[in-house]
């Protein structure tokens, strides 16, 4: 029926009325909080382009983990800054690597907190790419060697699982990476460790601040030969389909804010849990605008995260997680 019989505003009249008909609910259980861990002692270095985000040595990490656990957040995502780098990212898969050390410490301090280990080589290679480099003898050009890289990524995943990681999250975008890691985990006795695949990871300008945080900028070229073209969406379905067939347990879209249509499409096509990564520049833009007094940071963050969930995300990786958890409690 039409107006005046139908009045849509009836269900918006009061806060209580709006609450009982609300379609999308954002909760602390939706958040995964990224952390950057580094070697040394008493290290707490703020990322200049990401106010409120720090590189932390393990001795100072406990206070952050205590805050996460107290907030009700269920999971953290670990990125490591190694003491040394080489051409094959050796420190990514060493038993005493920085991510492995941090994982063991977190599982000791907060056994019920889920540790998600980012599985990539870019932070650990001296060239900053996500795999091994070979030089094409025909052209002399340096290229990422997909298949040789898989062997190192499997070693990294198994090492992280041995250290106690609850979830392996490969972000390298090599062809066949999920299948290789699944086989490697199963062969090592970690068949119950799930894979959260960075299935749809775009070659995005939104990663800029992260490159500072993780010290992972490529030393030559870019990552467009293995990360996705931002103009493509049907390709996202092909990437996700491969990961599903290879045994992924969760799928991810990264970045989130400029790719809401991709999140919705993935939600409609697949029934696996879907993760959205609210990436570094998305965070930094909000922080910069808030610092200038141009926006209400709390309102913008909660609206943005709700939008990601409304688009189809079951989980959201976000640097806003601690603040958002507090705001959702009314603090």
- Give me the active site residues, please: 201, 254
Q: What are phi and psi of 160, to 5 degrees?
A: -65, -40
Instruction: Using pLDDT thresholds of 50, 70 and 90, give the confidence band for residue 211.
Output: confident
pLDDT at residue 223, rounded to an integer: 66
State the average pLDDT over residues 57-84. 96
The 10s digit of each residue's pLDDT in 141-178 is 777 788 888 999 999 999 999 999 999 999 888 889 99
Query: Which pLDDT value is given to residue 163?
Result: 98
pLDDT at site 227: 85
Give the strand pairing for 196-201 and 167-170. Answer: unpaired
Residue 217 or 273, more confident = 273
Look at the block and give the residue holding tokens 């347990």: 249
Structure confidence by residue, pLDDT tens digits, 13-46? 999 999 999 999 999 999 999 999 999 999 999 9
Closest by Cα among 95, 101, 66 to 81? 101
Q: How many CB atoms lie within 10 A of CB 149?
A: 28
Task: Write out the DSSP string of 7-52.
Answer: -GGGGGSSHHHHHHT-S----GGGEEEEEEEESSSS-EEE-TTSTT
By C-alpha distance, which of 261, 262, 145 is closest to 199? 262
| pLDDT for the residue 220 | 60
Q: Give the Cα separation of 107 and 313 in Å (integer).
A: 27
Query: With 60 as the cut, is the pLDDT of residue 208 above it?
Result: yes
Helices (H), 131-199: 146-163, 177-187
* Summary mean pLDDT of the chain: 93
Examine the pLDDT at 108 and tell me if it is beyond 60.
yes
- State the first-to-last Cα distance of the chain, in angstroms, to the nearest integer: 42
Residue 219: the pLDDT is 64
Residue 2 scores a pLDDT above 60: yes
Q: Which residues contact 210 (CB under 8 A, 6 or more apart)?
A: 216, 279, 280, 281
Position 221 scores a pLDDT of: 56
pLDDT score for 231: 97
Residue 226, pLDDT above cutoff 90: no
Q: Widest CA span of the chain, in angstroms?
A: 75
């Amino acid at each position: 029926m039409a107006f005046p019989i139908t009045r849509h505003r009836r269900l918006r009249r009061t806060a209580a009325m709006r609450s009982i008909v609300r379609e999308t609910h954002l909760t602390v259980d939706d958040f995964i909080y990224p952390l950057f861990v580094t070697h040394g002692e008493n290290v707490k270095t703020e990322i200049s382009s990401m106010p409120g985000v720090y590189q932390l040595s393990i001795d100072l990490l406990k206070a952050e983990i205590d805050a996460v656990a107290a907030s009700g957040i269920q999971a953290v995502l670990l990125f490591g800054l190694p003491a040394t780098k080489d051409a094959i990212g050796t420190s990514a898969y060493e038993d005493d690597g920085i991510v492995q050390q941090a994982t063991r410490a977190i599982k000791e301090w907060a056994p019920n907190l889920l540790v998600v280990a980012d599985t990539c080589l870019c932070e650990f290679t001296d060239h900053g790419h996500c795999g091994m480099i070979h030089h094409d003898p025909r052209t002399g050009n340096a290229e990422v060697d997909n298949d040789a890289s898989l062997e190192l990524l499997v070693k990294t995943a198994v090492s992280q699982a041995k250290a106690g990681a609850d979830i392996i999250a490969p972000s390298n975008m090599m062809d066949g990476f999920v299948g290789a890691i699944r086989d490697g985990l199963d062969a090592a006795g970690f068949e119950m460790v799930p894979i959260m695949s960075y299935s749809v990871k775009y070659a995005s300008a939104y990663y800029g601040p992260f490159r500072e945080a993780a010290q992972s900028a490529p030393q030559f070229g870019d990552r467009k030969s293995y990360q996705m073209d931002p103009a493509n969406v049907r390709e996202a379905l092909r990437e996700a389909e491969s990961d599903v067939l290879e045994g992924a347990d969760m799928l991810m879209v990264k970045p989130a804010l400029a790719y809401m249509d991709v999140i919705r499409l993935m939600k409609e096509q697949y029934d696996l849990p879907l993760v959205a990564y609210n990436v570094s520049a998305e965070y930094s833009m909000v922080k910069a605008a808030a610092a200038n007094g141009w926006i209400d940071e709390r309102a913008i963050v909660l609206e943005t995260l709700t939008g990601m969930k409304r688009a189809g995300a079951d989980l959201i990786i976000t640097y806003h997680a601690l603040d958002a958890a507090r705001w959702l409690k009314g603090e």
